[in-house]
Amino acid sequence: MKMHNAHVEFEFDMSAGLFHLHPVRENFPGFDGASLALCYLVNGIQKTERLNEFNQRGTTQRIHSPLHGEICQISCACQSMDSTLEMIITFALTDQHPLFLWNMQIHNVSSQAVHIRKIEILRLGSHEDKGSQFIFSSRKAADLLFFTNGWQSWSYAGAYNFSQGQRRSILGPFQLPQVVNPGTPYTSSRGRHTSDFFGVLADKAERKGLVLGFLSQKQHFGTLEANFGETLSARLWANGDDARLDPGLSITTDWAVAMPFSIDLPNPMQEYVQAVAREHQLADFGKSPVGWCSWYQFYSKVIAPEIERNLAALTEMRKELPLELFQIDDGYQAQVGDWLEFRDTFPDGVASFASRAKNAGFTPGLWLAPFIVHPRSRLRHDHPDWILHSRHSWPVNTGFAWNTFNTALDLTIPDALDYAAHVVDVAAHQWGFPYLKLDFLFAAAVKGRYQDDSFTRAQVMRHGLERLRQAAGKETFLLGCGVPLGSALGLFQALRIGPDVLESWRPKWFGTGAIFRREPHMPSAMNSIQNILARSFMHRRWWINDPDCLLVRPHMDLNLDEVQSLATAIAITGGTLLLSDDLPALPKERIQLAASLIPPIDQPLQVIDWLDAQTPTRLRVDLENQTGKWHLLVRFNWLDCEDEITLTARDFNLPDGNYHVRSFWEKITRDVMRSTPLYQGKLAAHGVLLLAVRAVQENQVQYIGSDLHFSQGLEIARWKADGNGVVGQIVLERTSQGEIELSLTQEPKSAKVGDEDVIWRKSAANRYTFSIQVDDRADFEISL
Ligand code: 9PG
């Protein structure tokens, strides 16, 4: 049985149950001899079987999928050895996309219930199957890379060399129930790598990769595991969670996907990411929220007067710092779980803040964690039967937070789910919050004995989230946090894609950093940035990425270099921009720093060393407007010491040439002549260079950049230059005092903003810097 499209050739050996995927183009990866296996329980007895002896069901069909276009597909059936289960496996190749898709339907044809443990949709390189192997040009572990995507928002994401072990937390029951899918092996063994939903295997030498994963997580949580021992082996499975399958019923896995790709494309994950978006019919997500959040300044000690002072400051500062969202975080509620009662530090509740914020022209936002339950909540006391229990009849542990081990609602209990939905409904429609940050959502899908055991954990999660969306209504903006990524697709406008930020570069707990320094999922600026960069490709394709908050206050453990790195990572990836400092206490220059990131930009980002570095160091965004084309280039230094760096155009896949290079944070411009580096010199520990790079146009008036906006050019809304000078307009929609720099053919005769003369100075041969006051907009005219 064979099929092919422009990218791959597929072949299925039905009697042996082995399938092969061969790339059409040279050096692209594929595999030989992949098998399918199933693990299930009948009467409590576990059976594990590799599937074979398939019969073809009908012929190869050409169908039109409304989501994925023209598809060629074929189905085959087989039975389990004990004849209790019938499996139908469907393989599909898409015409327009380099996608190989397959899924498995499992039908209980017996007269007794079966519990499904694991559906291995791909098994490769295992010893049982001779000749089963990956096709990668390179067979050296040193050349192989693995990109891991953690289960939920806070879980680690990033690339590893295969010879490395994965970064692993030592926090055990304190944290692992939050961040690790219980169906995904959590290991730090060298050469053993795991990932949730999807993962990437790549060949560094050949610059080719293979995405293996799923298009959705509506039925099962998917896991990818790869091992490099003597050879490379891998398994991709759907976690059955021992969910009960009654006689006569069937379950079908989400589509599994294999996609070969070139890792040096500007957007290497594009085809996979778009297929997932199509599968969920994702459309537009609206504007990226820009605002303020109470958490990282006040934490749970927040009191109503602080919220009030910050709302007042937001109003007062809105000209210089136009934040739109005013989001109250954790700390107002009587207890986690008791959402409809308030702490005595919020005697009037939060509804009055919603109306006050709205009247002042802001969007009020509220944090809620409707699925997690504090052990000392009234909810837990009044409804012990709503709590999810473990197999040993203890309430499940959902990890340590609020100084205690927490537990969760069992959402297969209709009343429990109704309660969670009711809370969201009240917050949105009674208290009047059009923006909700729904947090700790993973709690709905921890390992446990669900009252209705016919659901997989992924189904409980998805169903729970759908219910929250329904309660919130279409019109409410939902930001998901602490949520399994695949489950959230299509239900949230924005999603947290990394661990919490912290006013410290590395994790710390109760003042000590030593033991927690290397923790991968704990709050810290570094861990937050890791995921911001590793998961940047999801932004505006799956949701608006929420990188977590920006902190700019001067007196904290982050120094200015670190603040600039955090600010650059947040701004250039284009997601939400939320400040979490005490606004009335911010000094002017820190307000300016934050304001220079507004408005957010929405141009595609290239993470040049996305797979080559554990934490990427080089980013590129191509921009264009009436001033011409330019490149925004970023180079981070993740070392704990100052680094001596040389940065060339080629490091960003740009040709050598003559460039004007304006360095935003340094406020310096360097003119770079052919074959000299764009930058050569020191870069501080945890520091960053943010460069606007423009090809020099000899004897022409040219825009070089400014300190008004970090894009160093998008602030220019109109620009008309010729031999007599330049007329232009700056649009910021905020008030700012700054400088713009231009390259001119001669000394200016006059320079005006509106009718006022402006001060200028010569910054280098042919370069001039003009001081400009912008009130929302500024029209300028420079005559030569
Ligand atoms: C509010 C916070 C903020 C933050 C969220 C989330 O395990 N823990 O103790 C733990 C505490 C806080 C936390 C995650 C884990 O952060 O990401 O933005 O809303 O809740 O409590």
- Give 573 Cα–ligand 1 centroid separation in angstroms: 22
- Give 439 Cα–ligand 1 centroid separation in angstroms: 8
Instruction: Say how far residue 3 (Cα) sits from the centre of its chain.
Output: 35
82-107: pLDDT as tens digits: 999 999 999 999 999 999 999 999 99
User: Residues of the chain with pLDDT > 70: what percent?
Assistant: 100
Run of H or E including 773: strand 767-783
Per-chain mean pLDDT for the chain: 96
Q: Which residues pair with residue 539 across a beta bridge? A: 543
| Candidate of 295, 325, 549 to mutate for ligand 1, largest count of ligand atoms within 8 Å of Cβ | 295
Which is nearest to 91 in space by CA: 244, 219, 250, 257? 257
Residues 722, 182: Cα–Cα separation, whole Å: 65
Which residue's CA lies nearest to atom 2 of ligand 1? 330
55-77: pLDDT as tens digits: 999 899 999 999 999 999 999 99
| pLDDT tops 80 at residue 145 | yes
Q: For 498, which DSSP code?
A: S
| pLDDT tops 70 at residue 138 | no
- Give 401 Cα–ligand 1 centroid separation in angstroms: 8
Residues 583, 566: Cα–Cα separation, whole Å: 18
604-645: pLDDT as tens digits: 999 999 999 999 999 999 999 999 999 999 999 999 999 999
Residue 136 is predicted with a pLDDT of 77
Which is nearest to 575 in space by CA: 275, 154, 287, 278? 287
Reported pTM:
0.97
- Give 328 Cα–ligand 1 centroid separation in angstroms: 13
User: 556: exposed, middle or buried (C-beta count within 10 Å: 0-12, 13-18, 19+)?
Assistant: middle
542-563: pLDDT as tens digits: 999 999 999 999 999 999 999 9
* CA-to-CA separations, 297 to 292, 293, 307, 330, 342, in angstroms, rounded: 11, 9, 11, 12, 20
Which residue's CA lies nearest to atom 17 of ligand 1? 500
Which residue's CA lies nearest to atom 5 of ligand 1? 500
| Candidate of 155, 500, 521, 551 to mutate for ligand 1, largest count of ligand atoms within 8 Å of Cβ | 500
* CA-to-CA separations, 95 to 86, 250, 278, 540, 711, in angstroms, rounded: 29, 29, 15, 25, 39
514 — pLDDT class (breaks 50, 70, 90) = confident
* Tokens describing residue 569: 């990572």
Residues 62, 460: Cα–Cα separation, whole Å: 34
| pLDDT tops 80 at residue 127 | no
- Measured from the Cβ of residue 292, the count of other Cβ atoms closer than 10 Å reads 25
- Which ligand 1 atom sits nearest the alpha carbon of residue 437? 19
685-739: pLDDT as tens digits: 999 999 999 999 999 999 999 999 999 999 999 999 999 999 999 999 999 999 9
752 — pLDDT class (breaks 50, 70, 90) = very high
- Computed from CA positions of residues 280, 282, 288, 292, in that sequence, does the dihedral angle turn out positive or negative? negative
Q: In the predicted model, what is the mean pLDDT of residues 172-195?
A: 96
* Tokens describing residue 38: 């199933």
- CB under 8 Å to 305, separation ≥6 — which residues? none
- Within 13 Å of residue 292, how many CA atoms lie on the same side as its CB? 30
354-410: pLDDT as tens digits: 999 999 999 999 999 999 999 999 999 999 999 999 999 999 999 999 999 999 999
Beta strands 208-214 and 55-65 are unpaired
- Which ligand 1 atom sits nearest the alpha carbon of residue 481? 17
Which residue's CA lies nearest to atom 12 of ligand 1? 401
Which residue's CA lies nearest to atom 13 of ligand 1? 500
Residue 139 is predicted with a pLDDT of 66
137 — pLDDT class (breaks 50, 70, 90) = low
Place of tokens 């009130």: 775
- Give 431 Cα–ligand 1 centroid separation in angstroms: 23
- Give 508 Cα–ligand 1 centroid separation in angstroms: 14
Which residue's CA lies nearest to atom 11 of ligand 1? 401
- Give 402 Cα–ligand 1 centroid separation in angstroms: 9
| pLDDT tops 90 at residue 350 | yes
| pLDDT tops 80 at residue 477 | yes
242 — pLDDT class (breaks 50, 70, 90) = very high
Which residue's CA lies nearest to atom 8 of ligand 1? 401
Instruction: Output the ligand 1 site: residues, CB below 6 A.
Output: 178, 295, 329-330, 367, 399-401, 439, 481-482, 500
- Measured from the Cβ of residue 546, the count of other Cβ atoms closer than 10 Å reads 27
658-693: pLDDT as tens digits: 999 999 999 999 999 987 999 999 999 999 999 999
Which residue's CA lies nearest to atom 10 of ligand 1? 401
Q: What φ, ψ does residue 346 adopt, rounded to 5°?
A: -125, 65
Residues 10, 23: Cα–Cα separation, whole Å: 9
- Give 500 Cα–ligand 1 centroid separation in angstroms: 7
- Give 491 Cα–ligand 1 centroid separation in angstroms: 21
396-448: pLDDT as tens digits: 999 999 999 999 999 999 999 999 999 999 999 999 999 999 999 999 999 99
Residue 335 is predicted with a pLDDT of 98
